[in-house]
Structure 1
Amino acid sequence: MDASAHCAAIVRAGNRDRYLADLFAPEAVRPHLFALHAFDVEVATVRDKVKEPMLGEIRLEWWRQALRGDHGGQPVAGALAETIARFHLPIGAFDNLLQARIFDLYDDPMPTVGDLEGYAGDTASAIIQLGAIILAGGQEPGSGEAAGLAGVALAVTGILANLPASAARGQCYLPADKLAVVGAAPADLRSEPTTEGVRTVFADLAALARERLAPARQAMDSLDRAILPAFLPAAVVEPMLNRMAKPAYDPLRDGVDLSPLRRQWITWTAARRGRF
């Protein structure tokens, strides 16, 4: 298996929405998008591959050095280093992403809503923007605002959808400041039944995701449709939020996902109409 096929396999297994979106990109740039998104999958799942946080930090530091050329033939790192050079991608964006991913390794609560948006900006938003640059042939596509907003909407929605799993392993992505306002605490994520405080913060963050999605779509309206594949994963945000808004939904017990067929239909429809 060559590096491109290896990267594509990682994306297909680890982020199906992103894989489907990449298929709508021109064939010539798909290998570069697969390299970027395979990297994203790899670093987003570091916690699952190590026994203690320090080992995770060592892995993230390895990626920092690998993207500067010291990758030892590792196929994803090699392919991404080539992509960075070819499209003049800002290495600082990768450094910021790797720094943000350190949070995933520990069980400290997300301090504030601002920290949550910053985390989303350095991870999901950055990946969208880097993909847009690749799709624009290495030129600045003017998509920073749209990517920033769409990334927050996408990341926050993903955090809410996966709340049962993250809470079960001791992580708290719900901002501590929001919990404190309603008289709740990170420990409430392990309570049963789900407290009203947790439900309130959950609803507030769902509203935040919607608030970021609407202007992201508006900002995208003025941009070249060539970069749309970078944004297509955000097409699932609204359908997922709608499911989580049902009265019987329990944020800590239910979780939410869309079937593979439903996700494929949403992505195809968004690509066809040229709007996520």
Structure 2
Amino acid sequence: MTLSVGAARASELSAHYALCETTLREKDRDSWLAALFAPSDRRRHLHAIRAFVVEIAEAREKVTQPLLGEMRLRWWADTIEQASGANAHPVADALADTISQNRLEPGEFLAFLDARVADFYDDRTVSVAALLDYCGKADALPLRWCALCLGEALGSDAGTALEDAGAALGITRVLWDLPRQGGARALLPADLLHRHGVPAEDVEAGRDSRRLRAALAELRALAREKLDSARIAAPKLDEAARGALLFAAAAPLYLDRMERSDYQPFQPLPAPSPWRRQWRLWRAARMGF
């Protein structure tokens, strides 16, 4: 028996959501684990959002020049803005359905994509404030979307907590990605480097120094400060907002790893053990982040 058009479309969409979950399980296990604590009927939307973030994060590694990267982001922007052609790409299809089902604001996704253009260039971020603005769009907005999908009305307390958690998550991501040439290295703020007497060319060349380590320690302290602010606010928030905060819950483990005595900023680091990350997420879910 031939499936009706509606049933065939539902089957296709279900397969695309399943691919989003597989993407997370293989490429962003922290997000996959965090989504497990969400109600089962909401998880697929979290999978779509976080798989979209993975797709954009991987774009720099898949292109040979910045213009090609911008073209990739332009395709995503056009697909989201026009809500057409998405089913040609499984993650885009699931994301388009998530945006529609949860009445998310497409303009916020365009702001996210505009921020991620910086990933393709080696232009130095001017200030810590500019870095926080970047993190607010690149890392806090996805937390906001997850909260909305979970049913959060996003009052001022929830919005501030998600902003703080996103800032901490973004700073941690930038520091963790320093071993890769360009990208994250260019996001280290010029005013921070200047204050610590670190020449920008040293960062670009991957030269370690005590002054550089002091600058990175200041950024880690800022990330912890933002996490603490989100943690203090969490008990006052509803379940949906706390569920979205879980996507930043493993950040302290990465910060801890970068504070060990054997840390070398430009050498790849092994991720914290899966069991420690899983335990951290379980504890955060039980304690309210």
TM over 0.5: same fold? yes
Aligned pair 1:78/2:93, yes or no?
yes
Q: Supply the RMSD in Å over aligned alpha carbons.
A: 2.0
Over alpha carbons, which structure has the higher Rg? 2
Report deviation, 1:254. Answer: 5.7
- Whether 1:112 and 2:101 are equivalent positions in the alignment is no
Match for 1:242: what amino acid?
D
Any idea what the Cα deviations from partners look like across 1:121-144, whole Å, max 9, x if unmatched?
A: 00111011110000017x445521
Q: Tell me the amino acid that sits aligned with residue 58 of structure 1.
A: M
- TM-score, normalization by structure 1: 0.92
Tell me the distance in 2 between the aligned counterparts of 1:184 and 1:140: 40
Q: Tell me the distance in 1 between the aligned counterparts of 2:267 and 2:42.
A: 40
CA gap 1:222/1:72 in 2 versus in 1, 3 angstroms: closer
Is 1:20 matched with 2:33? Answer: yes
Which structure has more helix as a fraction of its residues? 2
C-alpha distance in structure 1 between counterparts of 2:95 and 2:260, whole Å: 41
Report the residue type matching 1:258 in the other structure: P
Deviation at 1:154, TM superposition (A): 1.1
Residue 113 (structure 1) shift? 0.4
1:195 equivalent to 2:209? Answer yes
Q: Which deviates the most, 4-13 or 237-246?
A: 237-246
Partner of 1:151: 166
Residue 25 of structure 1: CA displacement? 0.7
Deviating more after overlay: 225-234 vs 169-178: 169-178
**One-letter amino acid of the counterpart of residue 46, structure 1:** A
Aligned to 2:48: 35
Shift, 1:166, TM fit = 4.3
Worse-superposed segment, 97-106 or 218-227: 218-227
Structure 1 match to 2:223: 209
Distance 2:253 2:62 in 1: 31
Percent of pairs with identical residues: 39
**In 1, distance between residues paired with 2:228 and 2:184?**
32
Indicate conservation of the 8 Å contact 2:254/2:271, yes or no. yes
- Partner SS state of residue 2, structure 1: helix
2:105 is matched with which residue: 84, 90, 114? Answer: 90
Distance 1:158 1:72, change over 3 A: closer
- Mapping for residues 165-184 of structure 1, pairs under 5 Å: 165-166=180-181, 171-184=185-198
Structure 2 counterpart of 1:8:
21
Seen in structure 2, the aligned counterparts of structure 1 residues 171 and 192 have a Cα distance that, compared at 3 Å, is closer
Pair 253,50 (structure 1): closer, same or farther in 2 beyond 3 Å: closer
The separation in 2 between residues aligned to 1:3 and 1:231, in whole angstroms, is: 25
Measured in 2, the distance between the counterparts of 1:177 and 1:140 equals 33
Q: Deviations 1:234-263 (Å, cap 9, x if unpaired)?
A: 222223222322344232236352012221
Hey, what does 2:69 align to over in structure 1? 56
Is 2:185–2:204's contact at 8 Å kept on the other side of the alignment?
no
Q: In 2, Cα distance between the equivalents of 1:10 and 1:72?
A: 17
Number of residue pairs the alignment of both structures matches: 273
SS in 1 for 2:40: coil
Distance change (3 Å), C-alpha of 1:257 and 1:170: closer
In structure 2, distance between residues paired with 1:166 and 1:133: 35
In the superposition, relative to structure 1, how do residues 215 and 20 fare at CA in structure 2: closer, same or farther (>3 Å)?
same
CA contact (8 A) 2:186 2:204 kept: no
Deviation readout 1:6-41 (Å, 9 max, x if unpaired): 111112222111111011111111111111111111
Residue number in structure 1 paired with 2:57: 44
> Aligned AA for 2:149?
I
User: Secondary structure of 2:133's partner?
Assistant: helix
Q: Secondary structure at the match of 1:217?
A: helix
- Which residue identity does 1:82 align to in structure 2? D
Tell me if structure 2 keeps the 8 A contact 1:33–1:134.
Answer: yes
With over 3 angstroms needed to count, the CA separation of the structure-2 counterparts of 1:190 and 1:97, relative to structure 1, is closer
Q: Distance in 2 between matches of 1:170 and 1:185?
A: 16
Over 3 Å counting, the alpha-carbon distance change for 1:153 and 1:192 in structure 2 is: closer
Could you tell me how far 1:226 is from its partner in structure 2? 3.2
* Corresponding position of 1:263: 277
SS in structure 1 at match of 2:224: helix
